[in-house]
Amino acid sequence: MKKSPPKKIRIGIVGTGGMANAHALEFNKIPGVSIAAVCDIDPARAQEFSAKHTKGRATAFSDHRDMIARGDIDAISNVTPDALHAPISLDAISAGLPVFCEKPLATCHADAVKMVKAAHKAGVVNMVNFSYRNCPAIQLARDLAASGRLGDIVHIEASYLQSWLVSKHWGDWRTSPGWLWRLSTKHGSKGVLGDVGVHILDFASMPVGPIRAVNAKLKAFQNLKGRRQGNYTLDANDSAVLQVEFANGALGAIHTTRWATGKVNSLALAIHGTKGAVRIDLDKSADTLEACLGGDIELSNWKPLKAKPTRCTYRRFIDAIRTGTPGEPDFARGAEIQKALDACFTSNAKGAWVRV
Ligand SMILES: NC(=O)c1ccc[n+]([C@@H]2O[C@H](COP(=O)([O-])OP(=O)(O)OC[C@H]3O[C@@H](n4cnc5c(N)ncnc54)[C@H](O)[C@@H]3O)[C@@H](O)[C@H]2O)c1
């Protein structure tokens, strides 16, 4: 029997800055998916984006409400700065549209919960782009942990290290709004913790399980703290060191910074259990982890294990719409991570452990 073509899905992308390029490239690869509309408060940027990724076929808007009101898109991809994730996603949900939202889901747990409730009430597919789940190695780590091959998980080390405050690998943060909003709480940034800390919290707790308590120290280094750059007051944390207790009793050391001179974008995770350990270093490989299991423990012998390919978050979103089944990671997961994030801020303010 001839297979029927996949259901056509027209995506509207809101926010056409740096990360939106990755969204467009990935959605453009999926059969039956088209980018039908794009929106940015900078109309020229939206036009350019449409020309670059859709040969100008996507209608360009400067207000997402107009884009939604036209009624000719089936879903939105929200790639705006963090403070706009909640309001724009809520507008799309009230119009009955599935939403693929960038991380962090919101700027606080209360807003994230509103998003979860609204999406459930409207019955729309909802996903948050914890994109490091696209690395097959983390899926294998989760399978190994779930199968019991690591025994009881006891100790976790995880880090996400960047250096864009000391290098120009990704351009000059002093002159680029795309970096400056990330340094300013007034612009809705939760600092490095909200920006890439959420990835590492998701990455670590996906195989290990929920986080029960945190003890966090957040810092905005003195050479930036309180400085002004145009409209931006630079006050968001740029380094974070967390002690973490997981619900299963395991302890973890998790840290992240924008000052990791010599590192560009390094994400690493090690999980140690009573019967084995795994480690992932994305500078080395996204699809192979190293494992120390069984007899290898006595020799400290680590062997590479290659993971099966995994569907990326963009495809999961489209599949969820087509099949009517929930896509992972969903808003509820985004809200769970947001809760841990809020607890880190409370812990930092109190200088004490805080339950999540
Ligand atoms: N999942 C990942 O791996 C990953 C990687 C990078 C960025 N991100 C996330 O993607 C989001 C965007 O980051 P970016 O690096 O592209 O930032 P960016 O500043 O380069 O782009 C944001 C764009 O949104 C536009 N914008 C602002 N307000 C708007 C509004 N009301 N309506 C429409 N457009 C609006 C800006 O003009 C800009 O073009 C952030 O939330 C960030 O955390 C995720």
Q: What are the extents of the domains in the chain?
A: 9-131+317-323, 134-310+332-355
pLDDT band (50, 70, 90) for residue 96:
very high
pLDDT of residue 6: 75
Mean pLDDT within 105-114: 98
Examine the pLDDT at 5 and tell me if it is beyond 90.
no
Question: From ligand 1's centre to the CA of 156, what distance in Å?
Answer: 31
Q: Are 77 and 12 in contact (CB under 8 A)?
A: yes
Residue of the CA atom closest to atom 4 of ligand 1: 19
pLDDT for residue 206 is more than 70:
yes
Nearest CA, atom 21, ligand 1 = 17
Cβ neighbours of 72 (radius 10 Å) = 11
Q: Is pLDDT of 3 > 70?
A: no
Express as a percent the part of the chain with pLDDT over 70. 97
Q: pLDDT band at residue 132, thresholds of 50, 70 and 90? A: very high
Q: 20-28 and 313-323 are packed helices; what angle lies between their axes, rounded to 10 degrees?
A: 60
Residue 223's pLDDT is: 66
Range 239-264 average pLDDT: 97
What percentage of the chain has pLDDT greater than the value 90?
A: 93
CATH class of the domain comprising 134-310+332-355? alpha beta
Contacts of residue 276, defined as CB under 8 A and 6 or more positions apart, other chains included, come to 144, 149, 150, 151, 291, 292, 293, 294, 297
Residue 322 Cα, ligand 1 centroid: separation in angstroms?
A: 26
Which parts of the chain are beta strand (E)? 9-14, 33-39, 59-61, 75-78, 99-101, 126-128, 153-162, 211-219, 227-229, 232-234, 239-246, 251-257, 265-273, 276-281, 288-293, 303-306, 354-355
Indicate which atom in ligand 1 lies nearest the CA of residue 45.
Answer: 39
Cβ pair 188, 102 in contact under 8 A: no
In terms of Cα–Cα distance, which of 192, 162, 167, 187 is closest to 177?
Answer: 187
Closest Cα to atom 40, ligand 1: which residue?
81
Q: Is the pLDDT of residue 268 over 80?
A: yes
Mean pLDDT of all residues in 110-126: 98
**Sign of the C-alpha dihedral computed for residues 223, 226, 230 and 236 taken in this order:** positive
Atom 3, ligand 1: residue with shortest CA distance: 131
The CA radius of gyration of the chain, in Å to the nearest whole number, is 21
User: Can you give the pTM of this predicted structure?
Assistant: 0.96
H-run or E-run covering 65? helix 64-69
Structure confidence at residue 222 (pLDDT): 65
How far is CA 31 from its chain centroid? 24
Pocket probe for ligand 1: among 76, 102, 127, 264, the residue whose CB has the most ligand atoms within 8 Å is 102
Of 61-75, 120-134, 215-229, 241-255, where does mean pLDDT reach its minimum? Answer: 215-229
Q: What is the mean pLDDT of residues 74-94?
A: 98
Class of domain 9-131+317-323: alpha beta
**pLDDT (average), residues 1-16:** 85
Whole-number pLDDT of residue 334: 98
pLDDT given at position 62: 98
What spacing in Å lies between the alpha carbon of 64 and ligand 1's midpoint? 14
Region 300-327: mean pLDDT is 97
- Find the mean pLDDT for residues 185-205: 96
Which atom of ligand 1 is the closest one to the Cα of 179? 19
The CA distance from 264 to 196, in Å, is 13
Of 13, 16, 19, the residue with max ligand 1 atoms within 8 A of its CB, to mutate for a pocket test, comes to: 19
Distance, CA 46 to ligand 1 centroid (Å)?
A: 12
Span 113-136, mean pLDDT?
Answer: 98
User: What is the residue-averaged pLDDT of the chain?
Assistant: 96
- pLDDT average, residue stretch 343-351: 98
Identify whether the C-beta of residue 36 lies closer than 8 Å to the C-beta of residue 73: yes
CA 79 – ligand 1 centroid, Å: 5
| Predicted confidence (pLDDT) at residue 151 exceeds the cutoff of 70 | yes
Tell me what the mean pLDDT of segment 25-33 comes to. Answer: 98
What is the rounded average pLDDT of the residues 174-203? Answer: 94
Q: Which residues line ligand 1 (CB under 6 A)?
A: 14-20, 39-42, 45, 64, 79-82, 84, 102-103, 129, 131, 178, 195
CA–centroid distance, 38 to ligand 1, in Å, is 13
Distance CA 87, CA 35 (A): 22
Give yes or no for residue 1 having a pLDDT over 70.
Answer: no
Mean pLDDT, rounded, for 141-153: 97
Q: What angle do CA 162, 179, 111 make, to 5 degrees?
A: 95
What pLDDT score does 261 carry? 97
For ligand 1, the distance from its centroid to the CA atom of residue 305, given in whole angstroms, is 35
Ligand 1: atom nearest CA of 181 is: 19
Averaged pLDDT, 54-78: 97
Average pLDDT over residues 296-306: 97
Q: How far apart are CA 335 and CA 163, in angstroms?
A: 28
3-state class (DSSP) for residue 187: helix
Atom nearest to 132 CA in ligand 1: 3
**Nearest protein Cα to ligand 1, atom 2:** 131
Other beta carbons within 10 Å of 34: 17
Report the alpha-carbon distance of residue 307 to residue 135 in Å, rounded. Answer: 9
